[in-house]
């Protein structure tokens, strides 16, 4: 694990942070068989901000789940920080999620009837961190997403934009290498969406966090340095903008 961490935080050029090779995912069997991914090759370097677009059902979420160690591919190889993760068990994947990843979902996925602070602390609890340290880091993370003073609010007392900020605070509180965001602005209006995108861009530029984001909106995809287009379980196009990725700055 620690070796992976070192490798993940100091990627070399020939060893990208994330490398997918011939990744396929098949749901169901026989007549009900759905080939969600039909052979994905993908290299993501540390510090990149990648937008993933594509029609509904093209396999974006499936790819994100595999990238986030929430699901396993049917076939293919996944190297994270140079280490193969295909053979890892459930708990080892949980440790990878806990230590290297942060998730932001379309539906926020906060714990109901639980304060913003407690929500943000959650991953730290599973890391086994002491309470005082946890509180402090969670407060800092909430301040960073502009929610200072809202620590004791329940999700039900927060607007959609604010809830998504809490979710982002929860994602960054562990100081992750990668944030995986599946349609993070899907439930928000344009103004709120732009605030969230500014926040993510900041995390990418200032903290060097690698961001993989699925979106339907070209305006949001414009924030990224690189655009990967999925069609029918395959990558159709993969284009980088002229601007260099964060770690190269």
Partner 1 sequence: MLYEAVRLALQAILRNAFRSFLTVLGIVIGVAAVIAMVTVGQGSTEQVQADVSTLGTNLLMIRPGQPSQGPGSGAGGTAASLTLKDVEAVEEQIPSVAVATPSNSRSMTTIFGNVNTTTTVTGTDNRFLIARDWALASGRSFYESELRTGSSACILGNTVREKLFGNGDPLGASIRLKQISCRVIGTLAVKGASSFGTDQDDIVLIPIRAFMRRISGNQDISMIYASIREGVSTDKGKADIESLMRERRRIGPFEDDDFNVFDMKQISSMLTGITSVLTGLLSAVAAVSLLVGGIGIMNIMLVSVTERTREIGIRLAVGATERQVLLQFLVEATVLSLIGGLIGIVLGLSLGLLGARMLSVPFSPSASLVLAAFVFSALVGIVFGYFPARRAARMDPIEALRHQ
Calpha distance 33→214 (Å, rounded): 24
Name which of residues 70 to 89 contact partner 1 (CB under 8 A): 70-71
Residue 52 vs 158, nearer CB to ligand ADP: 52
61 touches Mg ion (CB under 5 A): yes
Name which of residues 20 to 39 contact ligand ADP (CB under 6 A): 27-28, 34, 36
Calpha distance 207→179 (Å, rounded): 12
Among 29, 56, 239, 242, binds ligand ADP (CB under 6 A): 56
Name the nearest CA neighbour of 235 among 29, 34, 43. Answer: 43
Calpha distance 17→219 (Å, rounded): 26
60 touches partner 1 (CB under 8 A): no
What's the number of CA atoms in the CB half-sphere (13 Å) around residue 102? 30
Tokens representing 83 are: 């280490």
Residue 167 vs 246, nearer CB to partner 1: 167
231 touches ligand ADP (CB under 6 A): no
| Binding residue count for partner 1, defined by CB under 8 A | 26
Calpha distance 85→66 (Å, rounded): 11
From ligand ADP, Mg ion, partner 1, none, interface partner of 56 (C-beta below 5 to 8 A by class) = ligand ADP
Helix (H) or strand (E) holding 90: helix 90-100
Instruction: Give the footprint of Mg ion on this chain (CB under 5 A).
Output: 61
Q: Rule CB under 8 A: which residues touch partner 1?
A: 65, 68, 70-71, 90-91, 94-95, 97-99, 103, 105, 109-113, 122-123, 125-128, 170, 174
């Amino acid at each position: 694990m620690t070796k992976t961490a070192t490798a993940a935080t100091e990627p070399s050029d020939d060893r990208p942070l994330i490398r997918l090779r011939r990744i396929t995912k098949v749901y169901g069997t026989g007549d009900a068989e759905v080939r969600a991914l039909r052979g994905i090759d993908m290299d993501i370097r540390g510090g990149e901000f990648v937008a993933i677009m594509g029609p509904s059902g093209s396999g974006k979420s499936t790819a994100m789940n595999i990238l986030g160690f929430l699901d396993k591919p049917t076939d293919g190889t996944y190297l994270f920080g140079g280490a193969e993760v295909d053979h890892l068990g459930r708990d080892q994947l949980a440790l990878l999620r806990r230590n290297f990843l942060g998730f932001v979902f379309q539906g926020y996925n906060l714990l109901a009837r639980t304060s913003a602070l407690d929500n943000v602390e959650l991953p730290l609890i599973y890391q086994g961190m002491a309470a005082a340290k946890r509180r402090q880091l969670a407060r800092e993370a909430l301040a960073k997403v502009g929610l200072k003073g809202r620590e004791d609010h329940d999700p039900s007392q927060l607007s959609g934009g604010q809830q998504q900020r809490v979710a982002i605070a929860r994602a960054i509180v562990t100081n992750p290498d990668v944030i995986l965001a599946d349609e993070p602005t899907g439930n928000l209006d344009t103004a709120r969406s732009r605030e969230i995108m500014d926040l993510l861009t900041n995390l990418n530029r200032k903290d060097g966090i690698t961001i993989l984001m699925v979106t339907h909106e070209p305006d949001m995809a414009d924030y990224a340095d690189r655009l990967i287009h999925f069609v029918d379980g395959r990558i159709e196009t993969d284009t980088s903008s002229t601007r260099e990725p964060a770690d190269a700055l």
